[in-house]
Amino acid sequence: MLDRVLTRRREWQLRRCLNRGKLTFFCFVLTILVLRANFGAGRFGTPEKDLDEIRETLSYIRRRAEPRRVLEEISMERKSIGGSNSYADFDVRKIFNDEDDGVEEFKRDSSLPYSLGPKISDWDQQRGEWLKKNPGFPNFLGENKPRVLLVTGSSPKPCENPVGDHYLLKSIKNKIDYCRVHGIEIFYNMALLDAEMSGFWAKLPLIRKLLLSHPEVEFLWWMDSDALFTDMAFGLPWERYKDQNLVMHGWKEMVYDEKNWIGLNTGSFLLRNCQWSLDLLDTLAPMGPKGKAREEAGKILTRDLKGRPVFEADDQSAMVYILATQKERWGEKVYLENAYYLHGYWGILVDRYEEMIENYHPGLGDHRWPLVTHFVGCKPCGKFGDYPVERCLKQMDRAFNFGDNQILQMYGFTHKSLSSRKVIRFRNDTSNPLQFKDELGLLHPSFKAVNVQTRS
């Protein structure tokens, strides 16, 4: 009887194991089906294909999780270093400190005279051959229309006052507008190419580098960052300069006779791309290196030039000195322009803008409507200027708006006043916009027209 009981119990245990096995197998099959459906293997491919698809799906899941992990790490890192989202609270000097990477900067042998680079004596020949080999880059875009590159720039670091960079932005916007209207290329520099040639002299290495790198450019037009175009319609009289290599605002008698240090201005000038110009830069350069050379040159310039205060050598005084003392070598190719304002001193111009608007019109370029208004002495990017800050900034706003109105008028707008940032509409839009005529001819200047030959 005991055997019979044990046999029934064993039979029951076997049946229970069998049922559990069936349930386990069913769960296993169901799991496989779910996995095939979720991971893309439900398309009933081969086992190898199924495995590849599962791997791709898992990889996709990991990739989606990665950005979140990175963001969480960044958030934790920011909290650990106490970072702030407020630009107003951030000390920008932290990111503009030049790091010492341990690599010693190149230092010139002080026993040798300074030079801008290797001596070049055949630039006219080199450039002429290049132009012949590259006819697609002509140095003249049309009759009496040379290819011109306007060059300006500013410090690689932010301005030393809170609003300086805003006025630099206005300045470059103003120059871009003029260049676009007159078909002039523009180059904005923020790099100090030679640490020895800082301050006034930083332009010399840059100008030389650009002349040699762009043989297709006939004239380079340097313009200081504190100078603004205030006559957008005036085009330079290039025919007048066909035999000249350097054009500056100035007066012959003040430079050659009086040797006056303000007889010309180097804040806005034209320089032809030729051997003569390279030689002139080489002649100016030895006065520029900071330190003893610049200080000693400054003493000579103060001694020999009329009215010059005592300070280190600057490029404008050096230019007057070289032209006055070496007139035979340089004078014939220099044009001192005063028929229009290639440089116009802001102090005698800005307060007269309303009078100009009432009595004259753009396109004159002279005292009636100056081509350039130059804010000499305002130093909008520095800590201190030579004039009251409020006066300088207000007058710069007026000059910018005076020039900007000539651009906005093409589109039916104008500034509310010369002192206002706001603009107002002075004509209504219509369904026939081409009926309006651009009175200044700035929208479609003649030089932009393309000659189309029609077939007979």
pLDDT in tens, 208-226: 999 999 999 999 999 999 9
Distance CA 174, CA 441 (A): 18
pLDDT for the residue numbered 437: 79
pLDDT for the residue numbered 210: 98
Residue 202: partners with Cβ closer than 8 Å, 6 or more residues away: 153, 192, 193, 194
Assign 42 a pLDDT band (cuts: 50, 70, 90): very low
Read off the pLDDT of residues 309-363 as tens digits, 9 standing for 90 and up: 999 999 999 999 999 999 999 999 999 999 999 999 999 999 999 999 999 999 9
Q: Is residue 60's pLDDT more than 70?
A: no
pLDDT for the residue numbered 290: 92
pLDDT for the residue numbered 136: 96
pLDDT for the residue numbered 251: 98
Share of the chain above pLDDT 70, in %: 82
Read off the pLDDT of residues 172-222 as tens digits, 9 standing for 90 and up: 999 999 999 999 999 999 999 999 999 999 999 999 999 999 999 999 999
Distance CA 82, CA 79 (A): 5
H or E element at residue 5: helix 2-38
Assign 90 a pLDDT band (cuts: 50, 70, 90): confident
Cα atoms in the 13 Å half-sphere on the side-chain side of 68: 5
pLDDT for the residue numbered 76: 62
Q: Of 19-33, 144-158, 261-275, 430-444, give the lowest mean pLDDT range.
A: 19-33
pLDDT for the residue numbered 50: 59
Cα atoms in the 13 Å half-sphere on the side-chain side of 23: 6
